[in-house]
Amino acid sequence: MANGYIIYEGPSLLDAEPIVVIATGFDSGSSNRKTGDMIQTYILRAHLPPTDAAQTGADYSICGNCPHRGKVVTDKPGRGRKPKPKNVGRTCYVNLGQGPLAVYRAYWRGAYPRWDGTGVSGRMVRLGTYGDPAVVPISVWDALLLDADGHTGYTHQWHTTIGQAYRKYCMASVDSPAEAEIARAKGWRTFRVGMPSHPGREAKVEALCPASAEAGKKLTCAQCMACNGAGVPGEGETRRASIFIPAHGGFAVMANIRKRDERERAAV
């Protein structure tokens, strides 16, 4: 058995640009301490390293208008150097130079065979280790999860027409109490990232993520499995609380989060 497989190559549902979805962890498992041993899925631009896609804005194909992507601006030209785009203010916790880039390079080395539909039985799956699951045809996830023991997933496309079909698999990824209220009114369970100045967990409707540092990392995602969407009405629909987690990430990410939070407070 290979450790990773190509489970989709085709157009993004957002802009029809070519993307690829790689599922990893079949053989050696996942070493992610937060999620535990889950099949990880990376949604990538097919012909552009994830680091380059983020710097140019081409990551829209895989992330849509997620506010954590940052903003692409044009750098000032220097002596003998043409102006070029760069990303500023990125608040996404995913380190693109690690897992996503490694998977992209392995894909282009031909390390991943095409998935034949086997090897997922009895395993748990993380939809969108990087990238938004709703940019991928839902039939891909239907097939991957058919015999899986469970899954987690998040989408920022909860407010779009495209995103509605993914409610059974994904949490609505929201960034404020107001967004969370709107998403829940539309039938979604929510996963809210709390900015420093936002209110903490809403006791009646949100549970603190047990895999977070604030909760003492009591459980891994594989053990908890609360972030599995809303289910299908009438077919075992999930009726658990929504999930809250304080903003987190590396040093640069947290610095950008604090700056963004200050701008938001100043705008109120």
By the 8 A CB rule, do 11 and 162 touch?
no
Instruction: Give the pLDDT confidence score for residue 30 in this predicted structure.
Output: 63
Q: Any residues with CB less than 8 A from the CB of 29 and at least 6 apart, and which?
A: 37
Instruction: Give the pLDDT confidence score for residue 87 in this predicted structure.
Output: 85
Rounded to whole angstroms, the Cα distance separating 252 from 256 reads 6
Instruction: Give the pLDDT confidence score for residue 74 in this predicted structure.
Output: 85
Torsion 144-150-155-158 (CA) sign: positive
Encode the chain (268 residues) as per-residue pLDDT tens digits: 688 999 999 999 999 999 999 999 988 766 667 777 899 999 999 999 999 999 999 999 999 999 899 888 887 766 667 778 888 888 888 999 999 999 999 999 999 999 988 778 889 999 999 999 999 999 999 999 998 999 999 999 999 999 999 999 999 999 888 999 999 999 999 999 887 777 677 878 899 999 888 889 899 888 888 999 986 544 555 557 899 988 877 778 778 878 877 777 777 6
Looking at the DSSP bridge assignments, the partners of residue 193 are 245
Rounded to whole angstroms, the Cα distance separating 48 from 53 reads 6
C-alpha distance from residue 31 to each of 27, 34, 37, 99, 185 (Å): 12, 9, 7, 11, 36
Instruction: Give the pLDDT confidence score for residue 167 in this predicted structure.
Output: 95
Instruction: Give the pLDDT confidence score for residue 173 in this predicted structure.
Output: 95
